[in-house]
Amino acid sequence: MNAYLEILRPGNALLAVVAVVLIAIIGKNYDVPILIGIITVFLATGAGNVINDYFDYKIDAINKPERPIPSGRISLKNARNYSFILFLLAIALGSIISFIINSYWPFIIVVFNSIVMYYYAYSLKSSVLTGNISVAFLTASCFIFGGSIIGLFEISFYLAFFAFFMTLAREIVKDMEDYIGDKQEGAKTLPIKYGMKISSILAALFILLASCLSPILYLNGIFNLYYLIPLTIALIFFIMSAYKILLNQEVENCKTVSKLLKRGMMIAFIAFAVGSF
Ligand SMILES: CC(C)=CCC/C(C)=C/CC/C(C)=C/CC/C(C)=C/COC[C@H](O)COP(=O)(O)O
Ligand SMILES: CC(C)=CCC/C(C)=C/CC/C(C)=C/CC/C(C)=C/COP(=O)(O)OP(=O)(O)O
Ligand SMILES: [Mg+2]
């Protein structure tokens, strides 16, 4: 894959796009503003991934040397300039959306998230939990961004709630996975400050909180009965993740749990889509 495409982490960026598409499906709105919003989220998420790899190049040289910057396929200067161009494009599109729908919220969300992504990569990630909370907020904001475009704020906040806690849990598991490189670099993550056991308990608590509350989207009439079928499968992935991380905090198991959680999130996306028809 081309290094300038790879560094965007298109898989993640497309997942963020799916969150906005889900809001469009739930709101049955496919007008131009939400279509521009889809492009905006792809560009903004890509920009966040690029600036993150720009500031992470030393840690990634240990943990993930195959990435575009540590492997030498993209220079630091080009990565920085590339992320700024992507951020500016996303902000420009956010301003166009706000102009069309006559609401400043989409523009404000893009600008605010761009600042958070930059500061996450520059400093927030190196302090305990603030980095994890930042990524969880950014991920959850995809739903709120979509809701701000089509005027579906309440439902988007419900979905953002689940995305926030499930992403927060996964970020803690990812920090457990990166323990060795982070320790060598002196990063202040939850596993390094409070240990792997405490981290696993916190991650499991967040997973179980979101999982136990997820049927509420059916009980309060947001989604129909069909939502519960794929949700049950997603919950199996989530509960398995909680069980596995509590049982074993080895790095290899953290990798497995991180993948399980991501798969559960993708199945949860299907549940949201199926539940809104
Ligand atoms: C209980 C229940 C219904 C939970 C739902 C959880 C859900 C649907 C979460 C969706 C979250 C979402 C919108 C994800 C978009 C993809 C994304 C940008 C995630 C942020 O990832 C940052 C992460 O650090 C990247 O790591 P990696 O995936 O290993 O590259
Ligand atoms: C709604 C709008 C306008 C934007 C949302 C933008 C989104 C979805 C951001 C999601 C989270 C994200 C992509 C954050 C960027 C920073 C990032 C990649 C964090 C994870 O990186 P690390 O913690 O360094 O872990 P790895 O690099 O090892 O994956
Ligand atoms: Mg990184």
156 band by pLDDT with thresholds 50, 70 and 90: very high
CA dist., res. 3 & res. 275, Å (int): 37
Region 232-240 average pLDDT: 98
Mean pLDDT of the residues in the chain = 95
Residues within 6 Å of ligand 2 by CB: 12, 16, 40-41, 44-45, 48-49, 52, 56, 109-110, 113, 117, 120-121, 125, 135, 138-139, 141-142, 145, 174
Region 82-111 average pLDDT: 98
Nearest partner of 120 among 137, 134, 140, judged by Cα: 134
Which residues crowd ion ligand 3, with CB under 5 Å? 52, 56
Task: Using the mean position of ligand 3's atoms as its centre, give its distance from the Cα of residue 56 in Å.
Answer: 5
Q: What is the pLDDT of residue 113?
A: 98
Give yes or no for a contact between 21 and 7, defined as CB atoms under 8 angstroms apart: no
Of all residues in the chain, the percent with pLDDT exceeding 90 is 90
Burial of residue 111 (CB within 10 Å: 0-12, 13-18, 19+) is: middle
128 band by pLDDT with thresholds 50, 70 and 90: confident
Region 85-92 average pLDDT: 98
CA dist., res. 11 & res. 135, Å (int): 16
Nearest partner of 268 among 199, 213, 200, judged by Cα: 213
Q: What is the pLDDT of residue 187?
A: 81
Burial of 11-30, coded b for 16+ CB within 10 Å and e otherwise, reads: ebbebbbbbbbbbbbbbebe
**DSSP state letter for 171:** H
Q: What is the pLDDT of residue 127?
A: 79
Instruction: Select the CATH number that applies to the domain covering 153-277 from these four: 1.10.1740, 1.20.120, 1.10.530, 1.10.3470.
Output: 1.20.120
- Ligand number nearest CA of 241 is 1
CATH 1.10.357.140 applies to domain 1-151: yes
CA dist., res. 266 & res. 262, Å (int): 6
How many residues belong to the chain? 277
Region 153-164 average pLDDT: 96
- Give the long-range contacts of residues 236-240, CB within 8 A, separation 24 or more: 237/261, 237/263, 237/264, 237/267, 238/166, 238/207, 238/208, 238/210, 238/211, 238/264, 239/207, 239/208, 239/211
pLDDT at 185 over 90: no
Q: What is the pLDDT of residue 151?
A: 95
- Type of residue numbered 227: Y
Provide the CA 205 distance to its chain's centre, in angstroms: 19
Task: Using the mean position of ligand 2's atoms as its centre, give its distance from the Cα of residue 236 in Å.
Answer: 25
Ligand 2 atom 13: residue of nearest CA:
45
pLDDT at 175 over 90: yes
Provide the residue ranges of all domains of the chain, joining segments of one domain with +.
1-151, 153-277
Nearest partner of 45 among 106, 134, 126, 113, judged by Cα: 113
Q: Give the list of residues 6+ apart from residue 211 with CB closer than 8 angstroms, or none.
A: 235, 238, 239, 242
Three-state SS for 93? helix
Q: What is the pLDDT of residue 43?
A: 98
What pLDDT digit, counting tens, does each position of 6-44 carry?
999 999 999 999 999 999 999 999 999 999 999 999 999
Q: What is this model's ipTM?
A: 0.91
Q: Is the Cα torsion angle 214, 128, 61, 83 positive or negative in sign? A: positive
pLDDT at 250 over 90: yes
pLDDT at 125 over 80: no
Region 153-173 average pLDDT: 97
95 band by pLDDT with thresholds 50, 70 and 90: very high
242 band by pLDDT with thresholds 50, 70 and 90: very high
Nearest partner of 43 among 79, 94, 3, 78, judged by Cα: 94
What pLDDT digit, counting tens, does each position of 133-147 carry?
999 999 999 999 999
Ligand 2 atom 15: residue of nearest CA:
48
Q: What is the pLDDT of residue 181?
A: 77
